[in-house]
Amino acid sequence: MTPIELGGLIIGLLLVLLVIGMPIAFALMASGLVGVYMTRGGAGFDYVVATFPYSYMANFAFVVVPLFMLMSHMAFATGMSSKAFEAANKCANGMRGGLATATVFACAVFSTVSGSSIATASSIARVAIPEMRAAGYSNRLAAGCVAAGGTLGVLIPPSSILVIYGLATGTSVVQLFVGAVIPGVLTAVAYVAGIYIMARLNPMSVGGVRTAVRVPLAEKAKSLLMTWEAMALFALVVGSIYLGLATPNEAAGLGALGALMMAVFRPGRFKIIWRGLRESGSVTCAVFALIVGAGLFSMALTTSRLPTEIALMVSGFDLPVFVLMLLLLVPFLVLGAFIDGISMILLTMPIVFPIVEHLGVHPVVFGILVVKTVEIGLITPPVGLNAFVVKGSIPDLRLKDVFIGCIPFVIIELLLIVVLLMFPEIILWPLEG
């Protein structure tokens, strides 16, 4: 068989297994093992089955995954979100749509320690949406800004999605974290600008035009100081990486230890710690199963030479790199509406990343763009996880209102993808400084 036929057969088997409902991790493993048998024969198959899971996972770089997961769930369990929202609310006081703006800023602050969009959306929703509803905000804007703001958790460092992308493609996690800072801030600012425009066009969506109560500067400063835990964790993890004082693995260990120590001094500490350990352990097992499955699938495809053939075919198209990149990102927008970000990255990188390398696109730029498509997938039907998380956190919300409220933010995200494609220097500038 030709590489196209062999690779197509492996991918076809994967799609069939996914359609019949097999979990993504096991579908990747099964199709990967079948592909290995077809490309390497019985002896090669026996060797891979006996050695691959351990040899692939016995990589010190993977230590970062459970440590960041532990930090994320400990931060979520200790309830740092309420202080972040209170501080953001006081600082945004006086702005039109101030509560929605405060929600986005609170999501940005909490993202710096959670690394998870679901944890961010769930935690902030319980605090912010009742406040916005009491102030007369529409359900759609209230739910939309929380669901969209929660997606900042997959972009602002330390992002678990960026870690997975780095491990799947061999890209430096440090460079990914550095490259994500400006796009993360830009996304938060764009959300705030969008909220301001919506408030101007439809004042009733933010409870009408009212006179704001002036908050003294000293009170704003005091509220910011109350977020010291989030700022300390961010400085400990990201600061130590940026300054070259710690590797990502060491920084993740510091962050996990810091979050654990903060939980120790909370009331109900044993319940908080048990919850954090249980949830981080469960998520870590699921992620590792996906990583093993993706590794087997990648090995099978690489041996079939399908990615190489596709890369050569794509390079033969007489199209600008900008257009080719847009075409590569379209499937991510579609996939993001059906599967979670980690699965999507592990599923697609064996096929797509060789094409990106062949086109000469910087892997950090592509990684940030892929994460932006993950953000969109988190707030678009039918499987927009953040929308369901917000609905689950506030049961009397209608899911329809949550998704409609997300539409303006999806448009903002699409515009940001175009901007980043046109000006990749926004991502690369900190790396070159």
- Cβ burial 195-229 (10 Å sphere, 16+ → b, else e): bbebbeeeeebbbeeeeeeeeeeeebeebbeebeb
Give me the pLDDT at residue 315, please. Answer: 62
What is the longest distance spanned by two Cα atoms in the chain? Answer: 77
Tokens linked to 59:
């990589």
Residue 413 scores a pLDDT above 90: yes
pTM of the model: 0.80
What is the mean predicted confidence (pLDDT) over 53-74? 78
Residue 211 scores a pLDDT above 50: no
161 and 177 Cβ atoms separated by less than 8 Å: no
Q: What are phi and psi of 206, to 5 degrees?
A: -115, 25
pLDDT tens for 346-401 read 878 888 888 888 888 899 999 999 999 988 888 888 667 788 888 888 888 888 99
Tokens linked to 77:
């369990």
Q: Report CA 381 to chain centroid distance, whole Å.
A: 17
What is the mean predicted confidence (pLDDT) over 303-330? 77
Q: Is the dihedral of CA 187, 234, 223, 141 positive or negative?
A: positive
Q: What are phi and psi of 338, to 5 degrees?
A: -120, -30
100 and 132 Cβ atoms separated by less than 8 Å: yes
pLDDT tens for 77-121 read 776 767 777 777 777 776 778 888 888 988 888 887 776 777 788
Those residues with Cβ within 8 angstroms of residue 183's Cβ, 6 or more apart along the chain or in another chain: 155, 368, 372, 416, 420, 426, 427
Give me the pLDDT at residue 433, please. Answer: 57
**Helix, strand or coil for residue 126?**
helix
**Long-range contacts made by residues 429-432, C-beta under 8 angstroms, separation at least 24?**
429/182, 430/178, 430/179, 430/181, 430/182, 431/175, 431/178, 431/179, 431/364
Residue 213 scores a pLDDT above 70: no
What is the mean predicted confidence (pLDDT) over 261-268? 81
Residue 123 scores a pLDDT above 50: yes
